[in-house]
A and B are shown apart, each in its own frame.
Chain A
Amino acid sequence: MAKIIGIDLGTTNSCVSVMESSKPKVIENSEGTRTTPSIVAYTEDGEILVGASAKRQAVTNPKNTLFAVKRLIGRRFNEEMVQKDIKMVPYKIIKADNNDAWVEVRDQKIAPPEISAQVLIKMKKTAEDYLGEPVTDAVITVPAYFNDSQRQATKDAGRIAGLEVKRIINEPTAAALAFGMDKKEGNRTVAVYDLGGGTFDISIIDIAEVEGEHQFEVLATNGDTFLGGEDFDLRVIEYLVAEFKKESGIDLKKDMLALAPERLSRES
């Protein structure tokens, strides 16, 4: 019998799981990791790379390596978030004929749902390899602040990937469910902090017990859509480089490039 999968389509990383004996099991991908980078790259040879391999070649192919596409999905080109993103990413963000934000790689204009679909295809395959049978239905989570257009675009991405998206649910609600907030009696108000790779969100959720069932309502959300684990990584690296420079006088950022060809000529 076909199983339904749950997908966390994140800004930086994605994750897929399936229920096994009423317990969720996160599935490892072909590289053996439980999360997959939400990165899609279009190579010179016409190959489409998704996940770790796309991430590894990012510096060699910056204009055609797409990341954080979640910041664009379902948005219009003129939105403030999109305009901010244009200044931060090396790939080209363009205005489509319908005024949506699209990307342009290797002279091809592509809609964000098509990019996210590539990630979803990999998550689908990961699940199918584990389960040993085809997968057609999925539940995908989105930020609580996503509007109708963004939710629909996420559903479209699922459809392009060959998945029937049975539900789009809010990420903080899913988190609350995962922590068993629906197993406790009575009403409660919960604050969910979500510090991800690319974004930091807080949501206040009201959980009400109505006739034995729990109803979840998102009361408020806020956050920084340009702050996440990757930013912390960069700051730590900057600090280490500065400290190293203080102690040794070597600027690692410059010298990494300088040392490489020098070593090559020494070895040959």
Chain B
Amino acid sequence: MQNIQDPQSDQPELTADKTNTEKTSTEDTTTLSTAESAVETMPSLEQLLKKAELDAAEHHDAWLRAKADSENIRKRAQIDIANAHKYATENFSTELLTVMDSLEAALAVENATVENFKSGMELTLKQLSTAFDKFNIKVINPNEEKFDPHQHEAMCTVDSELAPNTVVHVMQKGYILNDRVIRPALVTVSKAKET
């Protein structure tokens, strides 16, 4: 019974003596006292119960609201993610439009020489490289570097004069977007030392 008295810490001097006498009398009372019986100073068990019930109702309310809130946040997040997926490529796509234009223009030229095509392609390649730079796409071209399985994929091992576990040949370059390997470089690797 003592711990029920603890929440009444704002009225310490009042709870002190009268608690025990109060206890015995309230045990006989069956009806809950409402506002009229109130209030003097000493909280009766009924009042404590009422307060506890109000607190519980308040907490329940707050919990319901928090639950609804989190459900709304989740729904909003889902919409955000769906939009992010849909429009993620928008910025990068815009950069690529100039590349598309260049390629179409090159093909539309009549009687173009091989030299023309070559210089046209080189310019277009430059445009694409610029787009890659803008969006932080870096190339992985590890010729004769130490083999790194985080960025390279070994297709096979070959005999080589290079040190063991070195990239002998890059069959296909890889690419990193920001800090994520979007495609590892496909390489052949010099054979490891025989163990």
Contacts and interface: CB of A to CB of B under 8 A. Distances in A.
Contacts of B188: 257, 260
Contact of B147 (A20, A31, A60, A63): A60
B158 A53 contact: no
Interface string B169-195: 101000000001100100011001101
A54 B154 CA distance: 11
Nearest to A32: B180
B12 interface: no
A31 B181 contact: yes
A41 B74 CA distance: 39
B150 interface: yes
B150 A53 contact: yes
B152 A56 contact: yes
B157 A20 contact: no
A60 B70 contact: no
A59 interface: yes
A17 B165 CA distance: 36
A264 interface: yes
B46 interface: no
B71 interface: yes
Given A53-B149, A57-B149, A263 B169 contact: yes
B153 interface: yes
B152 A21 contact: no
A243 B128 CA distance: 35
A261 B169 contact: yes
A49 interface: yes
B178 to A, nearest CB: 11
A247 interface: no
B41 to A, nearest CB: 41
Given A32-B180, A54-B149, A59-B157, A44 B70 contact: no
Nearest to B70: A21
B166 to A, nearest CB: 10
- B71, B193, B195 interface centre (most CB from chain A within 10 Å): B195
A56 B155 CA distance: 8
Interface residues of A, number: 23
Contacts of B157: 59-60
A58 interface: yes
A31 B168 contact: no
B165 A44 contact: yes
- A106, A256, A257, A260 interface centre (most CB from chain B within 10 Å): A260
- A44, A56, A256, A261 interface centre (most CB from chain B within 10 Å): A56
Contacts of A264: 168-169
A166 to B, nearest CB: 25
Given A56-B149, A60-B165, A263-B169, A256 B180 contact: no
- A20, A54, A63, A257 interface centre (most CB from chain B within 10 Å): A257
B26 interface: no
A54 B71 CA distance: 40
A152 interface: no
Contact of A59 (B150, B154, B171): B154
B149 A256 contact: no
A61 interface: yes
A32 B184 CA distance: 13
Nearest to A45: B165
Contacts of B147: 57, 60
B160 interface: yes
Which 6 residue pairs of A and B lie closest in terms of their CB atoms, listed nearest first? A57-B149, A53-B149, A56-B153, A56-B149, A260-B169, A260-B188
Interface of B: 70-71, 74, 147, 149-150, 152-158, 160, 165, 168-169, 171, 180-181, 184, 188-189, 192-193, 195
Interface of A: 20-21, 31-32, 41, 44, 49, 53-54, 56-61, 63, 106, 256-257, 260-261, 263-264
